Structure 1
Amino acid sequence: MAYEECTVVGRNAVLEAYRSGKTIDKLFILDGCQDGPVRSILREARKRDTLIKFVSKEKLDSLSSHEKHQGVVAIAAAYEYATVEDLFKKAEEKGEAPFFILCDEIEDPHNLGAIIRTANLAGAHGVIIPKRRAVGLTGTVAKVSAGALNYTPVARVTNLSRTIDELKDKGMWFVCGDMGGELMYDLNLTGSIGLIIGNEGNGVSRLVKEKCDYVASIPMKGDIDSLNASVATGVLAFEIVRQRMGK
């Protein structure tokens, strides 16, 4: 189900958004504001594990375009998030071994949108993103995905490392992209697989990389040393496609 991405301004509006079941990505509260209505909002936010930030009045003024915010502004998701179980169901419906793309702190909405589009075209059964230090399903992400968000589920998890452990218990194994890895053509990338793509600047985090079964490198012949995150996703994802097709 698609939502119109929006900024929800004011205490009553934010509380009503929570009670109506709207997905709130981020909640901004005026620093030091802890009266009764704000505590009610914070209770709802914590129940849903919303990312909460205490900020200055100037920041709230900017977020609300200077509407009367009463110390509270929320950012609602443009699309509803799936669960990890939804991704498994999609694989089961297609009669295929699960193929998921996991984004380790991707911050640029254009990259995330392009990765979701690539995931759809490569036949991945869904994308997994973390709740913190990463972009959510904003309007820009939806637009760049070129409609793929209507078909490719995106699950948002609290802890990516823990999720990888849980997926390993279900028989999945993991490969991440990194310049220091083995050549991707030399790896067996078939079966029930998760492809992990790292942050635009820092790559895959150490904790996540340690959980990977393989580290894959893309052969590069140019004068610069790295690909954009979404382009790297495309190259690695379609090598997985090639191998899954038995080519």
Structure 2
Amino acid sequence: MNKKNTTDQTDLVIGRHAAMAVLKGDQPVNKVYVQEKLKSDAIFELATLARKKSIVVSRVPKAKLDMLTDHQNHQGVAVSVAPFEYAQLDDLFAKADVADEPPFFLILDEIEDPHNLGSIIRTADAAGVHGVIIPKRRAVQLTSTVTKTSTGAIEYVPVMRANNLNNVVKELKKRGVWVFGTDMEGQDFRKFDGTAPTALVIGNEGKGISPLLKKNCDGMVSIPMSGHVQSLNASVAASLLIYQVYTSRGK
């Protein structure tokens, strides 16, 4: 397995579910911040687990937690983590091999909203996706908001950062993976068969899939709509497509 790449700076994971997932996982943790005078079973469990792993637990005023988390909904806890480890392509294939399943990957083309990315990763974990591929530039990276929105799923789904998504698509094809994008003119997603090694490309919230990446896809799938607004949120569209593959595989 290839050496992994890391982000350039540390980050905070906020929220109780996300914090617990990090503490139970393998990502190095520097420190746990807990809001002082806040008593709950969840907070007690978090602090106890941290101490068992010899991680410093610091009880701080709510004002400090608010400042550290940029006034996000931290639920009384924040975890300072070491740089997130991004996977290599071989790691994604290895996860499929361990599961003894045909590879199933997501390629996210310039997703900008961290809430969308977090939601997609959460669905990916639920439906057995073996890895997510994002670009290094012009797209949201793995942040505390992404981690919180994923409710800890980010600990279980490998995420690869690519310099060039088109090169990744070409490599996937060489390794026997069929790559499908989303387009209004594609085949009805309800008839899509994802039993073969499959990668789904989800486009940018406003622009969709870039023209060159669309050209490199093996085919297109569409989500029929009868309403007045002929578009879906990126995470909602991704969820429908992910579960179509999940269903077609007989799960």
**TM-score, normalization: structure 2?**
0.67
Q: Deviations over 1:1-25 (max 9, x none)?
A: 998516xxxxxxxxxxxxxxx9xxx
In the other structure, the counterpart of 2:220 is 215
- Cα distance in 2 for partners of 1:78, 1:148 equals 17
Asked if the contact 1:107–1:134 (Cα under 8 Å) also holds between the matched residues in 2, the reply is yes
Q: How many residues of Structure 1 are paired with residues of Structure 2 in the alignment?
A: 179
In the other structure, the counterpart of 1:178 is 183
Q: Structure 2: which amino acid aligns with 1:5?
A: D
Asked if the contact 1:78–1:138 (Cα under 8 Å) also holds between the matched residues in 2, the reply is no
* Structure 2 unaligned spans of 5+: 1-5, 13-27, 29-69, 71-80
The partner residue of 2:141 within 103, 113, 136 is: 136
* Structure 1 unaligned spans of 5+: 7-21, 23-64, 66-75
In the other structure, the counterpart of 1:11 is none
Equivalent positions of 1:67-86 (< 5 A) are 79-86=84-91
Describe the SS at the equivalent of 2:224.
coil
For residue 225 of structure 1, report the CA deviation from its aligned partner.
0.6
Describe the SS at the equivalent of 2:242.
helix
Q: Structure 2: which amino acid aligns with 1:209?
A: K
Q: Structure 2: which amino acid aligns with 1:134?
A: A
- Cα distance in 2 for partners of 1:195, 1:172 equals 10
Q: Deviations over 1:41-70 (max 9, x none)?
A: xxxxxxxxxxxxxxxxxxxxxxxx9xxxxx
Say if 2:101 is the partner of 1:96: yes
For residue 211 of structure 1, report the CA deviation from its aligned partner.
1.1
* Identical-pair percentage: 50
In the other structure, the counterpart of 2:197 is 192
Q: Deviations over 1:60-113 (max 9, x none)?
A: xxxxx9xxxxxxxxxx98622111111111000000000001100101111111
Deviating above 6 A after TM superposition, structure 1's stretches of 4 or more consecutive aligned residues are none
The partner residue of 1:123 within 111, 124, 128 is: 128
- Cα distance in 1 for partners of 2:116, 2:102 equals 26
- Cα distance in 2 for partners of 1:158, 1:231 equals 26
The partner residue of 1:225 within 221, 230, 235 is: 230
Asked if the contact 2:181–2:221 (Cα under 8 Å) also holds between the matched residues in 1, the reply is yes
- Cα distance in 1 for partners of 2:214, 2:126 equals 26
Asked if the contact 2:179–2:219 (Cα under 8 Å) also holds between the matched residues in 1, the reply is yes
Q: Structure 2: which amino acid aligns with 1:186?
A: K
- Cα distance in 1 for partners of 2:137, 2:110 equals 8
Q: Deviations over 1:18-47 (max 9, x none)?
A: xxxx9xxxxxxxxxxxxxxxxxxxxxxxxx
Describe the SS at the equivalent of 1:171.
coil
For residue 136 of structure 1, report the CA deviation from its aligned partner.
0.5
Q: Deviations over 1:117-175 (max 9, x none)?
A: 11111100010000011110011111101110111110101000000001110000111
Give the aligned CA root-mean-square deviation in angstroms: 2.3
For residue 184 of structure 1, report the CA deviation from its aligned partner.
1.3
In the other structure, the counterpart of 1:168 is 173
- Cα distance in 2 for partners of 1:152, 1:189 equals 19
- Cα distance in 2 for partners of 1:229, 1:210 equals 20
Q: Structure 2: which amino acid aligns with 1:167?
A: L
Describe the SS at the equivalent of 1:216.
strand
